[in-house]
A and B are shown apart, each in its own frame.
Chain A
Amino acid sequence: MEEKTTIENPTEDVESSNTVVDIKGLKKSFGNKHVLQNINLTLAKGENLVVLGKSGTGKSVLIKCMMRLIQPDEGEIEVLDKNILELKEHELNDMRKCIGFLFQSAALYDSMTVGENLEFPLRGEKDVSVEETNKRVLEALQNVGLEDSIHKMPSELSGGMRKRIGLARTMMLKPQIMLYDEPTTGLDPITSKEISKLILEVQKKYNTSSIIITHDMECARITANRIVILKEGEVAMEGTYEELKKSEDEWVRSFFE
């Protein structure tokens, strides 16, 4: 029996007419391996889009292409009405500040304390004072319920805490779009649920649009407005959680069993 979550249905706030991400004909190969073959995707303002798929289908490559951490072979990626593949370096850096990216491993800087980790994204912002930085650090830590950890080193944190701090760090620049790379991987079911709820809270508080890469169906159920399933480098199926769960395609249903 599926446990009912107390979080409201996130589909209510989606402004589907306002597209913030538009991906057309995206292709990426590594040697002879064609990871992304022809990806077409859109993300509406305020929407949470979950991307599902077997390991190796290019889910992480997809969002790394969106940040231009990986250069795609073909296709177009429009983020906030700008083709991200044609941006100059300083424009790309400005664009990246509008997009938050939570890495699978949280990617906290080992040599810095939690507080320094959170301050780091603000070092390039000339108009942010020290007081404002400290205020934002404290606020970000309060958002994830870890204000006591400000002086801790990343090695002193548990997996769930690292993910929360990673999320807090991405929120420092108040991005409009959030990309989550398997946010609940390696966590116990209770912590996974807490992270999923946190994703929704962040979306509501900062009015972000999100793409969530996950294998965790509970996370997908809690967070998704819409789900996209990748198969062999292409979008195989698209719909809401309930629609896909009732799909006639046995392969699609196998994700929900």
Chain B
Amino acid sequence: MVDTIDKEKNKETKDAQTICEVVNNREGYTLTSFFADMGALATFTLRFFKEAFRPPYEFNEFLRQCYLIGFKSLGLVGITGFIMGLVLTIQSRPTLAVFGAEAWLPAMVAISIVREIGPVITAVICAGKVGSSIGAELASMKVTEQIDAMEVSGINPFNYIVVTRVLACTFMIPLLTIFADAIGLLGGFAGVNIKGDTSFSLYFLQVFNSLDFIDLFPALIKSFFFGQAVGIIGCYKGYNCNQGTEGVGKAANSAVVMASLSIFVIDMIAVQITSFFM
């Protein structure tokens, strides 16, 4: 039984290598290479789920990645969230004023930020900052044979490098989203008070009155998927880089492009599912 599993695993590894060779040796991005790429990504994702539950668990490296991905992104996510809240409020006020509905401004800003803008903007920023950094780091480890060096030491590099980073992205991006939502609402408060006079407590009373559990919960669930997509795509692009130093740049670039695109695709699916329950 174990023999069969190992033989299957060897075959899987060989198939994955062949797929990656097809992807990396392509001249121009054809439909065939697109499907080969998707197949290799699916195999990589499957391997992540298998390895994530297999010891040894690299807890220290996971915490280090949480610090790098989460804590080190707080500034960027915070500033962007504040600006988004501020701009959204300033832009929406004239339209609401036409209908005499300026009092609805805090509610509108809150629902927009919590349901959509907070999760998507945070994930896109993380795709740019974290996805590119993971893609470039792993690609450079690959071309300088650091991943091979781990393997020859009898240590599973997939477990140490990929699983820790993907899990850190999966847990940190939802936390960053909550942070961005909070800062975005503060930005909204600043925007409301540029041309009006609303107290802090009244603003947040209106914000929380307008929000339901159904606004927050799906947004957080989808941000888990955003995080996983950013981590897996960044790691996949870096881990399978095979074209020397040129490949490092390509891996970082394609990690950002593919992760950003996948965020919008996941968002579209999530909105459809959420609207089914609402």
Contact A69 B153 (CB under 8 A): no
B91-146 residues with Cβ-Cβ distance < 8 A to A are: 140-141, 144-146
Query: Contacting B14 at CB < 8 Å: which of A71, A93, A104, A173?
Result: A71
Query: Contacting chain B: which of A18-26, A120-128, A135-143?
Result: A120-128
Cα–Cα, bound, A108→B6 (Å): 30
Interface membership of A101, Cβ < 8 A:
yes
Cross-chain contact A120 with B145 (CB below 8 angstroms): no
Q: Which residue of B lies closest to A173 (CB)?
A: B153
Q: Does A83 sit at the interface, judged by CB under 8 A?
A: no
Task: For the complex, give the distance between the alpha carbons of A31 and B150 in Å.
Answer: 27
In the complex, the chain A residue whose C-beta lies closest to that of B149 is A107
Closest-CB distance, B241 to chain A (whole angstroms): 15
- Give chain A residues whose Cβ lies under 8 Å from the Cβ of B10: 71
Contact-residue bracket for chain A: 20 to 34
Q: For the complex, give the distance between the alpha carbons of A55 and B187 in Å.
A: 61
**C-alpha spacing A121/B153, complex, angstroms:** 5
**Interface presence of B39 (CB below 8 A):** no
Tell me if A96 and B17 are in contact (CB < 8 A): no
Name the interface residues of B1-57: CB closer than 8 Å to any CB of A: 2-3, 6, 9-10, 13-14, 17, 21, 25, 56
Contact residue among A94, A99, A124 (Cβ-Cβ distance under 8 Å from B152): A99
Taking CB atoms, residues of chain A closer than 8 Å to B9 are 89
* Partner of B154 from A31, A69, A104, A124 at Cβ < 8 Å: A124
Q: Is the CB of A69 within 8 A of B148?
A: yes
Residues of chain B contacted by A124 (CB below 8 angstroms): 56, 153-155
Q: Which residues from chain B contact A89 at a C-beta distance below 8 Å?
A: 6, 9
B151 at the A interface (CB under 8 A): yes
- In angstroms, how far is the closest chain A Cβ from the Cβ of B263? 27
**Nearest-CB residue, chain B, relative to A31:** B25
Cβ-neighbour of B155 out of A71, A105, A110, A121 (below 8 A) = A121
Partner of B6, one of A31, A88, A96, A107: A88
Given A71-B13, A89-B9, A110 and B154 contact (CB-CB distance below 8 Å) = no
Q: Which residues of B contact A (CB under 8 A)?
A: 2-3, 6, 9-10, 13-14, 17, 21, 25, 56, 140-141, 144-146, 148-156
Question: Please, could you name 18 A-B residue pairs with CB atoms under 8 Å apart, sorted by A?
Answer: A31-B25, A69-B151, A71-B10, A89-B6, A103-B145, A103-B148, A103-B149, A104-B145, A105-B144, A109-B146, A110-B144, A121-B154, A121-B155, A124-B56, A124-B154, A124-B155, A173-B153, A173-B154
Residues of A whose CB lies within 8 Å of any CB of B are: 30-31, 64, 67, 69, 71, 88-89, 93-94, 96-97, 99, 101, 103-105, 107-110, 120-121, 123-124, 173
